[in-house]
A and B are shown apart, each in its own frame.
Chain A
Amino acid sequence: MAEIIIEVNNLAKYFPVTRGLFHQQKIADVKAVDGVSFTIHKGETLGLVGESGCGKTTLGRCILQLIRPTSGEVIFEGRDLCELSDKELVPVRKKLQVIFQDPYDSLDPRFTAMDIIGEPLRIHNIFKGTEYRDRVAELMNLVGLAPYMAERYPHEFSGGQRQRLGVARALALQPQFIMCDEPISALDVSIQAQIINLLDDLQQKFGVAYLFISHDLSVVRHISDRVIVMYLGKVMEISNRDELYKNPLHPYTQALLSAVPIPDPAVEINRAVIVLKGEVPSPMNPPSGCVFHPRCYRAFADCPKVVPLLADAGDSHQVACLLYETSRP
């Protein structure tokens, strides 16, 4: 496997919930991310799936220090990003970029396309004059936009085109890693496919690694090399893509996969769906032991008592579930 570029160790982000009129007292913590560890390798796409409240977006932002984690480490180029100040992070940010979800909100409506794509170049003082314009034109071509549109404003582009602007902007500094935070959820189905292909092509061309955050399992399966499944701030399962979809071990993963209908009536007519009971609990008050146990259709006596650890369950396949824990030290 290729070298590791980012190492996340025991990352946690708690949001305090306070109450009180004059003196704010902390009554609880929203454990958005609760002890997550994994690695990202050069040029790979790591898919991060989970439903709302699982902490995937918070996790992505914590890795990039857009939100400062409560505890844990994010090791990049030998340094722990959590320890660096905002100022020290500035040169590092050239190599770690983001594509956001909302193509309408992630672009400044007062900037032209050229301003938007070139902003990273301007912030880091790279290129001036004609070199700058050439680079922007090159980036526009790379994402399939015509350079003559550089003077246009975001409201003059369609949703898919705006997302392409976001991709071009993320590429401007030739990053090693791009965090894609639900980059296609806000787009129409036919446009989604365009952007997925684009991201694929750019990865092949430039060897950039992606953390692809999404709730859409079919898309994640298509684009990822490895997949992490999260629930209520914890990792339930990590695996190679093919292995995960062929042989999901964690009951939550199984339910998640079963919940996705296949666009083929012949298949669906006979397929049974695992319907989980209950709602996703509030992250303010997570269940004891295994956070999934209240909804788990395979829960047993120990589940509310013991927090399962992420353990090996085969070739680069890890799962956090008591069903697979053979022994406890």
Chain B
Amino acid sequence: MTALLEVRNVKTYFYTQDGVVKAVDGVSFNVNRGETIALVGESGCGKTVSALSILRLVAEPAGKIVSGEIIFNGIDLLKLSNEEMRKMRGAKISIIFQEPLTSLNPVLTIGRQISEGLEFHKNMSVREGMQEATRLLQMVGIPHPERRVHDFPHQFSGGMRQRAMIAIAIACQPQLIIADEPTTVVDVTIQAQLLELIRNITKELNTALILITHNLGIVARYAQRVFVMYAGDIVEHGKALDVYHTPFHPYTAGLLGSVPRLDEPRKTRLQPIEGQPPDLIALPAGCSFQARCAYAIPECHKEKPPLLEISPSHFAACWVSQKGSRSWQK
């Protein structure tokens, strides 16, 4: 079965006064129908830019998708015209942004914003669109949807705004939803509500989901496969269980070691990753993680490791890992 989405070696660069920022530097991943994958990493790793690249929402002229292919349902999205791409956005692939306050138009009612997509993609009239919007608001758990559909974004709370974003995203029954840090700005109990809702809906509609986050707990609960990103590259990917239990990249292990867990006995000290993330304009030769890696060997400074296979479903980009010694695994 071919994948629904296949991102092949995409490079997205930003051209700034001080140099070229290689935000995404040769990233490949795929998503199967109905599956949930996660792009996980810290700020600056390129996960959001990767998502924006799929939808070709990268701000030009500063940003540019320099090379690669993005094959969706057999079509290379990078080769489509602007007009054709617009037909994709919202209809076949939609996105839920991080900050609903800025992603929603403050002067349009929630109902109109949901029905916008329906009017454009499904040729519905405004009335039909509003009816469908009401139904969608019900689906995402907003009480009294027939009233709230006429409300403006500022009349909604943060959690409800995010639900409205979800409604907009599923309106045209897309095959793929990208959720970019959908719960970072909401409280933990609302986060639980929203993520459970997203999971139920994607299961019901058989929609694929790309979950972008820095939260390792969310990934563990909701994603089947995980792609760990660092400084514009994917450094490890595989089934969630494998990556979490036997990380093959020191960065993944470091991330897991930095996070305190509610269920484990309390460690006396966390194991942070030393140093700080690199400057994307001045990346070192070789592996981008070398400066912070406790296990680096001479090869790491010379050549950037490609993703090497550990098992058919588990890959890691690390020379040390290849050599066999993985002392960071417990």
Contact = CB atoms under 8 A, between A and B. Distances in A.
Are A and B close enough to touch in the complex, i.e. CB under 8 Å? yes
Interface of A: 51-52, 158-161, 188-194, 196-197, 200, 215, 217-219, 221-222, 241-242, 245, 255-268, 271, 273-276, 279-280
Contact of B220 (A192, A215, A245, A261): A261
Interface in B18-62: 42-43
Interface stretch (B4-12, B77-85, B264-272): B264-272
B122 to A, nearest CB: 31
Nearest to A263: B216
11 contacts: A51-B187, A189-B258, A193-B259, A193-B271, A200-B269, A255-B189, A259-B191, A261-B217, A261-B218, A266-B245, A268-B217
Given A190-B273, A221-B260, A265 B217 contact: no
A189 B42 contact: yes
A190 B45 CA distance: 13
Most buried by B among A158, A191, A218, A263: A263
Nearest to A274: B192
Nearest to B254: A190
A259 B192 contact: yes
B260 A218 contact: yes
Nearest to B272: A193
Contacts of B273: 190, 193
A51 B214 contact: no
A189 B254 CA distance: 10
A291 to B, nearest CB: 14
Contacts of B188: 51, 215, 217, 256, 259-260
A262 B254 CA distance: 16
A189 B255 contact: yes
A158 B220 CA distance: 29
Contacts of B222: 261
B285 interface: no
A188 to B, nearest CB: 4
A50 B48 CA distance: 29
B220 A196 contact: no
Interface string B155-197: 0010110000000000000000000000000011111110010
B281 interface: no
A310 B82 CA distance: 62
A280 B190 CA distance: 9
Contacts of A194: 272, 274
A215 B274 CA distance: 24
Interface of B: 42-43, 157, 159-160, 187-193, 196, 214-222, 240-241, 244-245, 254-263, 266-267, 269-274, 276-277
B165 to A, nearest CB: 15
Given A260-B188, A279-B159, A280-B157, 17 more contacts: A51-B188, A160-B276, A190-B255, A190-B272, A242-B266, A245-B262, A259-B191, A261-B222, A262-B217, A262-B221, A263-B259, A264-B220, A264-B261, A265-B220, A275-B193, A275-B196, A279-B157
Contacts of A259: 188-189, 191-192
A265 B244 contact: yes
B254 A217 contact: no
A188 B220 contact: no
B277 A188 contact: yes
Contacts of A189: 42, 214, 216, 255, 258-259
Contact of B258 (A193, A266, A267, A271): A193
Residue from A190, A194, A261 with most neighbouring chain B CB atoms (10 Å): A190
Nearest to B185: A52
A191 B272 contact: yes
B219 A263 contact: yes
B243 to A, nearest CB: 9
Contacts of B259: 189, 193, 218, 263
A221 B262 contact: yes
A221 B220 contact: no
B63 to A, nearest CB: 22
A255 B191 CA distance: 12
The interface centre, meaning the residue of A51, A193, A194, A273 with most chain B CB atoms within 10 A of its CB, is A193
Contacts of B43: 188
Contacts of B263: 262, 264, 267
B302 to A, nearest CB: 25
A258 B160 CA distance: 21
Nearest to B143: A278
B107 to A, nearest CB: 23
B271 A280 contact: no
A229 to B, nearest CB: 12
Most chain B CB atoms below 10 A, which of A218, A261, A274: A261
A200 B270 CA distance: 10
A222 B157 contact: no
Contact of A218 (B261, B272, B274, B277): B261
A263 B256 contact: yes
A51 B185 CA distance: 11
Given A215-B188, A280-B187, A192 B245 contact: no
A265 B263 CA distance: 13
Best-surrounded residue of A158, A191, A274, A276 (most CB of chain B within 10 A): A191
B220 A52 contact: no
B260 A161 contact: no
Contacts of A222: 260, 266-267, 270
A279 B190 contact: yes
Nearest to B271: A193
Nearest to A260: B262
A5 B215 CA distance: 36
Nearest to A144: B274
A271 B222 CA distance: 12
Contacts of A266: 241, 244-245
Contacts of B219: 263
B244 A197 contact: no
A191 B262 contact: no
